Amino acid sequence: MSDSTGARAVMWAYLTTGVAIFGLMALIGLALRVEQAQWVAYDPGTFYALMTLHGSGMVVALALSAMGGLWFIMNRERGMDRTIAWSAYAAIVVGVLCVILSIFPGRFAAAWTFLYPLPFTGATWPSWATGAFLFGVALVMLGWTVYCVQLLGCVLAKYGGLRGAVGWDLVFHPGRASTSSAPEPPPQAFAALVTAVDGLFAATGGMLVGVALIVHWIDPSVAIDPLWAKNLTYQFGHTFANLTIYMAIAFVYVALPRYANRKWHTSPVLAIAWWGTLLFVATAYFHHLYMDFVQPRGFQYLGQVASYLAAFPPAVVTIFGGALLIYRSKMRWTMGSMFLYAGLVGWLIGGIGALIDATVPINFSLHNTLWVPAHFHTYLLEGVTLFVLGWIFANLEARSGLVSSLLTRWIVGLGIFGGGALLLLGWYVAGAESVPRRYAVQPVPGPAIAAWASIGAMLLIAGLVFCLAEAVRLARAPKALTAS
Amino acid sequence: MHQTTVLAGFLVAAAAVLIVMAAIARTTTQPEEPQSIVTATGYRLRRGWLWVLAAAAAAAFALSLPEFPYGKPATLTGQHYSVIATQYSFELPSVVPADTPIVFDVTSKDVNHGFGIYDPQDRLIAQVQAMPQYINHLPLRLYAKGHYVVRCLEYCGIAHAAMLGSFDVR
């Protein structure tokens, strides 16, 4: 197998596995929403077990998809050992299987947050299910750690160590940067560096709390501080989920310029923006603990400041840069470019919803209402997912030399954007109506809102299925003569 | 801030984003402009955009600071009421005084719970987490008299949605 073919095999393994898990989790999400709409009825134990699987599975699905694409992009910059990439993939897949086992047949239902001591106290599931879930999460973190170490090694080796990779000379010594033997990092290299560094930071927190919980599972007399565990759970969970966006933005950096027939340059401003992302993605998680008044007060202020500042690099540099890239360009609008550009819009709108919730006095009356799934579904579903779809179609279009018809794009757009908007609006409106999140049976007006949100979810899934069929059509088409 | 105002503000901002980004996408039907010219103008705009955002963020932070709900030691001197959460109920006072500074001392006997207070119009007006081994002090002044419902706002197990409490404000 040639290097290029082998690298593509790695990317498609990550991508197709991620998309397959995504599809399964989307159907589970629909099952949760129609239960809240009271269209079907099943017991709360099943609802919360499915909710646990949906939450943990969806983040891993998006992470796997983004990891595959980013690995392929960086592998072209500097070849990486495919065995290591396959090892990381295997650890994550086995971890996912452990988590699935904990739910079917284990019925583990402590949510993806598994806030200590919920996995052990008042549990309606067997102890082995708790162990299977915790080992599953630990394996996912192990695979993620291996991936991040490899990515970090690639970036540091290619761009002249940390100084070169962060663009230090580019910002402070432009003359020295231009004469350096190491190449200037392209925009996607900054995404890889931040993913690797913040990813390892998240993995450390995840491993710490994961191992602590496994020790407690083996020996319940080992006590854990609940506030410490909560901090680490969100430090790893928030950062890991957030990094899916920053991995997938590499797809925009690489593919959108091809469609616009322009270049996305590295600049000092871009480098500084990514320094900000590096810092603020790692510190914004404190906003998850605003309602823990015993948390040191400084962390509460830091949470709001970091959450606000985390919005600057995307708003001022990446999303603004994407808009500038296509402005008055000779843009080729295809399925791929439509998804990549629409993903920037979804990221921005979801970010506004997140910033509102990250303001402490507003969080006081929105925390753990449906406003929370509203904003994170906006940037995961209409942001990261679209970046992934955009990357898949960019590759398929380049390989086949084909593009989808306008009618196909309209049908997919109506399903994914129209259905998605209906689904998301349901959460925003219900959040403003104080409907709590994670309720199998919601107070009014929750069920009525869930009913029209479910229609949105069905339209969205129909759009995704149509999209999948179109992807299969392009994938089965003969390779274009001009394809690389 | 009232949640309906927050929702309205969000929807206006989201609509503005959609309109601007759609307008930018539509410019691709116009004659092409060299990237260097677009970039030069764009970078000037970006500087202005940065300052607008920075001013908005600074103003939002400054305006929010006095509204942080944590309370200073002086505001924790009102009448204290103990709240103990447990799977799946609340031990809490049946009556609290209206228009008087009070403090809820909230903890949990087992897992993490949320102590979410809904006013007589069924709107969430305040909350704090109930965490085992810790006591969270929630200073509050409830002006409207009536029946208040308490809902658990942290997932705590399979009967989470049924975990309710209530008290009257007189």
Q: What is the pLDDT of residues B38-48, one digit of tens each?
A: 999 999 999 99
Q: How confident is the model at residue A134 (pLDDT cuts 50, 70, 90)?
A: very high
Using the predicted structure, report yes or no on whether residue A382 has a pLDDT greater than 70: yes
Average pLDDT (A440-449) is 98
Q: How confident is the model at residue A176 (pLDDT cuts 50, 70, 90)?
A: confident
A64-75 per-position pLDDT tens digit: 999 999 999 999
A426-444 per-position pLDDT tens digit: 999 999 999 999 999 999 9
Average pLDDT (B51-71) is 96
- B6 and A345: CB-CB below 8 Å? no
What is the pLDDT at residue A450? Answer: 98
R_g (Cα) of chain A, nearest Å: 22
Q: Does B5 touch chain A (CB under 8 A)?
A: no
- B21 and A439: CB-CB below 8 Å? no
Average pLDDT (B117-130) is 98
Using the predicted structure, report yes or no on whether residue A1 has a pLDDT greater than 80: no
Alpha-carbon distance A475 to A469, whole Å? 10
Cα distances from A434 to residues A369, A372, A376, B153, B159, in angstroms, run 6, 11, 17, 11, 19
Question: Which segments of chain B are extended strands (E)?
Answer: 79-86, 89-91, 95-96, 101-108, 113-118, 124-130, 136-141, 146-152, 164-169
Q: Which two tokens stand for residue B132?
A: 């085992």
- B129 and A293: CB-CB below 8 Å? yes
Look at the block and give the residue holding tokens 């898990």.
A21
- A113 and B135: CB-CB below 8 Å? no
Tell me if the bond preceding B69 is cis, omega within 30° of 0. Answer: no
Q: Does A468 touch chain B (CB under 8 A)?
A: no
What is the pLDDT at residue A129? Answer: 98
Using the predicted structure, report yes or no on whether residue A166 has a pLDDT greater than 90: yes
What is the pLDDT at residue A174? Answer: 85
CA A396 to chain centre: 22
CA A257 to chain centre: 23
Query: Number of Cβ pairs closer than 8 Å across A and B?
Result: 220
Alpha-carbon distance A427 to A409, whole Å? 26
Q: Does A302 touch chain B (CB under 8 A)?
A: no
Which residues lie below 8 Å from residue A105, measured CB to CB, with a gap of 6+?
Answer: none
Cα-Cα-Cα-Cα dihedral sign, residues B115, B117, B123, B129: negative
Q: How confident is the model at residue A483 (pLDDT cuts 50, 70, 90)?
A: low
Q: Are A326 and A258 in contact (CB under 8 A)?
A: no
B69-104 per-position pLDDT tens digit: 998 777 778 899 999 999 999 999 999 999 999 999
Alpha-carbon distance A50 to A46, whole Å? 6
Residue type, A441: V
% of residues, chain A, pLDDT over 90: 96
Which residues lie below 8 Å from residue B25, measured CB to CB, with a gap of 6+?
Answer: A326, A331, A341
Among A39-43, A445-449, A476-480, the minimum mean pLDDT is found in: A476-480
A253-307 per-position pLDDT tens digit: 999 999 999 999 999 999 999 999 999 999 999 999 999 999 999 999 999 999 9
Of B38, B133, B157, the CB nearest to A226: B133
A18's enclosing H/E stretch is helix A3-36
Selected residue of B21, B41, B67, B115 to mutate for chain A interface (largest A Cβ count, 10 A):
B21
Q: Are A412 and A368 in contact (CB under 8 A)?
A: no
Cα distances from A75 to residues A7, A18, A86, A188, in angstroms, run 7, 19, 14, 12
CA of B42, closest CA in chain A: separation in Å?
A: 7
Using the predicted structure, report yes or no on whether residue A482 has a pLDDT greater than 70: no
- B151 and A436: CB-CB below 8 Å? yes
Using the predicted structure, report yes or no on whether residue B166 has a pLDDT greater than 80: yes
Query: What pTM, to 2 d.p., does this model score?
Result: 0.97
Cα distances from A337 to residues A333, A343, A409, B56, B74, in angstroms, run 6, 10, 11, 32, 57
% of residues, chain A, pLDDT over 70: 99
What is the pLDDT at residue A181? Answer: 82
Alpha-carbon distance A258 to A263, whole Å? 8
Which positions in chain B touch A436 (Cβ < 8 Å)? 116, 151-153, 161
Alpha-carbon distance A396 to A469, whole Å? 13
CA of B78, closest CA in chain A: separation in Å?
A: 17
DSSP A230-258: HHHHHHHHHHHHHHHHHHHHHHHHHHHHH
Q: Does B160 touch chain A (CB under 8 A)?
A: yes
Q: Does A341 touch chain B (CB under 8 A)?
A: yes
Q: Are B146 and B168 in contact (CB under 8 A)?
A: yes
Domain B73-169 -> CATH class: mainly beta
Which positions in chain B touch A252 (Cβ < 8 Å)? none
